[in-house]
Amino acid sequence: MRDYALPVLGNKAVIEIQVEDILKVLKPLWGEKSQTASRLQGYLEAIIAKGLHGARATNQPNPAVWKNNLEFSLKSPDKVHTVKHHPSIGWEQLPKFMKELYSLNKPKGSRPDAQCLAFAALCGTRSSATRLMEWDEVDLKKEVWTVPPTSDKKPKRKSKQSWPIPLSREAIRILEAQPKEKGSTRVFSTLNGGEIYDNALSSLPRAIGFEAVAHGFRSTLQNWAKAHGYSKDERELSLQHKVMTGTEAAYDNEKLIPQRKKLMDKYTSFAMSEVSKR
């Protein structure tokens, strides 16, 4: 809304906005940034609908609706959107990758970005949730990190509900090695106390010779677990993917935590097999 809609529509009253204005916003994005454009169209439709509901001209059609309107001027989103897979390494390469990644953190504590990526790779967690995780989300005694749902207070967690992540011994060791800065609640920070950004994590694999990004290590975990006989539920739940619905979901209170803990421990042992004992 800020970057694409407001520069075009910001000075217009809702009842003044026409289809041509909406197309002026969406057309430049529709081919190259189709997902963003599709979401933006939905936001505009909802916002304008609410604005028109409170306006005098309530019978005015919404210029941002898709059906029988924008569909005549724009290609269907599913025809322009192509899925782009995040570059990832094969699971067979993981021990070598972890060895190279850990070699960056010398002297110890000098590369919090490398430690943050190592934690995300071992836990199969999303970059944003890992980079922004806070100490109140971690229970070291129970060996679990509970990813909170996205909220104003906890933004960018990319989770609709609280989600427990069982922690391996190495994941806990990484957490225990992070300094607790006065006045900061964040677990992973740069050496000067700032936020570690996604680009910093995603550039690390290429810097040490691996064609991958931070998010791609979720695929590495998925493929390793599949190759080693873990069930689909265990694999999907380990990646925070809700696989059960209806009655099954009502009884899925523990989210297979004991089984996932075993999976994570085995995965970590494999991943760390070439890293020298510290």
Same domain, 59 and 183: no
In this structure, the answer to whether residues 146 and 231 fall within a common structural domain is yes
Does residue 232 lie within any of the structural domains? yes
| pLDDT digit string, tens, across residues 178-221 | 998 878 899 999 999 999 999 899 999 999 999 999 999 999 99
pLDDT at residue 250 tops 60: no
User: Which token pair is 38?
Assistant: 């599709």
Judged against a pLDDT cut of 70, whether residue 85 lies above it is answered with: no
In terms of domains, do 107 and 186 share one? Answer: yes
Report yes or no: 48 and 64 within 8 Å, Cβ to Cβ.
yes
What 8-state DSSP symbol labels residue 224? Answer: H
**Does residue 9 register a pLDDT over 90?**
yes
Is 278 within a domain?
Answer: no
Q: Assign residue 130 the CATH number of its domain.
A: 1.10.443.10
Residue 46 and residue 25 in one domain: yes
Residue 202 structural domain: 91-271
In this structure, the answer to whether residues 68 and 144 fall within a common structural domain is no
Whether 204 and 113 have beta carbons less than 8 Å apart is answered as yes
**Chain position carrying tokens 């002026």:** 24
Domain total of the chain: 2
**Per-residue pLDDT reduced to its tens digit, 155-181:** 888 888 899 999 999 999 999 999 988
Question: Is the distance from CB of 277 to CB of 173 less than 8 angstroms?
Answer: no
Is 163 in the same domain as 249?
yes
DSSP string for residues in 144-191: EEEEPPP-SSSTT---SS-EEEE--HHHHHHHHTS---TT--BSS--T
